[in-house]
Amino acid sequence: PKYTSVIVGSTLGAIFGVFLICAFIILGFRKGFQEVEEDCLDNMLGMPTRFSYEELKNVTKNFSNKIGEGGFGSVFHGTLPPGSEVAVKHLVGFGAVNKSFVAEVQTIGSINHFNLVSLVGFCAEKFNRLLVYKYMANGSLDRWIFNKSQESALRWQIRKKIIIDIAKGLAYLHEGCNQKIIHLDIKPQNILLDENFNARVSDFGLSKLIGRDQSRVVTAMRGTPGYMAPEWLSSVITEKADVYSFGVVVLEILCGRPNVDKSQLEEDMHLLRLFRRKQEEGQLLDLVDQCNDDMQSNATEVVEMMKVAAWCLQNEYARRPSMSAVVKLFEDSNDVVSNLNEDFLNGLTWEIVGSFASQVSPSILSGPR
């Protein structure tokens, strides 16, 4: 029994020793892998400025001013020396977020367009993953178009410019990048406005990238209810899903209300159904935002723009225009409807609205700026 106890004890000790050695090897491997991964980020072409975690703690005053929150983390206001304002997105969930972080840094770091939110820098330090964006002084579009105050209501020319800016940003994502980028979540909360009300598309770094030789991609359903194209039901998605969402946003800008407004009567709750009914009744003028006299004074031109929205809202994605075609339409003629030679309203989707209708929650970059 004595020798048996010694043998058992020795065996258990050996097993424990092997376990400790394996644990140290695994931990060392993970640490080495993490260091290699972080070094690779520094060596990637087109990478923006890399900050330390301590630097960003100072920039955000210890993350004291939260301005937004979403599924991947929170957004904080910060100030870089000598005084430029930034929005710092602190990502959470290391395992899942890591791939998204690398994708976003690579994607946004290589993209430079006036109508896309600029990535200033990033942090990849131990378990901390942060993204630093240019701060947009006038915040997200929803706070301006859904605000019923006459003092803050946007004039028609500003709204028109915002629509054109969004179209240009999306056209660049779809056709101007090395890889076609589908945003998949276009909504007012993801359109940010600078101090001069120039519109910039945000939150596109976590979108789906597909090669230029691919015409479509099968992906899991994502996006925001109310802005999702009907083809989401089949999970066959092209950049035309963004075109559909753009059409919804255009209507919201023109009408000054969300696509689902539960404060309205039931028959008027869904904007697209209301739009269809007013078109059939020849009363589209009724939909023009009544928050200020300027919109009413330009009501005829506003209705013309509604027809561009209808063009983008076709049920069959093949019938929708490309975003570059929409931009060309705006640039070629002030009378945008003169180039539309088809009754696009006949192909609109209506039942899809009821399936996806819900209140919109702000995205990670859509907090007040």
3-state class of 205 per DSSP? coil
Catalytically annotated residue among 165, 185, 203, 289: 185
Cα separation, 233 vs 215, in Å, equals 18
Contact 191, 199 (CB under 8 A): yes
187 is in an annotated binding site: no
For residue 343, indicate whether it is catalytic.
no
β-partners of residue 84 are 80
**Whole-angstrom Cα distance, residue 325 to residue 262?**
34
Q: Let me know: does 191 contact 201? Beta carbons within 8 Å.
A: yes
| Residue with token string 């899991």 | 220
Buried b (16+ CB within 10 A) or exposed e, 130-139: bbbbbbbebb
Q: What is the distance between the alpha carbons of residues 259 and 252, in angstroms, rounded to a whole number? A: 6
Distance CA 213, CA 180 (A): 9
In the structure encoding, which two tokens stand for residue 245, read together? 């969402």
DSSP class of residue 260?
Answer: B
* Residues listed for the chain: 369
φ, ψ for residue 121, nearest 5 deg = -170, -170
d(CA 115, CA 119): 13
- Residue 368 near residue 358 (C-beta atoms within 8 A): no
Name 192's bridge partners: 140, 200
Measured on CA atoms in the order 173, 178, 179, 180, is the torsion positive or negative? Answer: positive
User: To which H or E segment does residue 122 belong?
Assistant: strand 119-125
Please enumerate in sequence order all residues whose Cβ is within 8 A of that of 162, keeping only pairs 6 or more positions apart, or say none.
141, 154, 191, 193, 197, 199, 253
- Burial of 86 from C-beta contacts in 10 A (0-12 / 13-18 / 19+): buried
Query: Which are the catalytic amino acids?
Result: 185
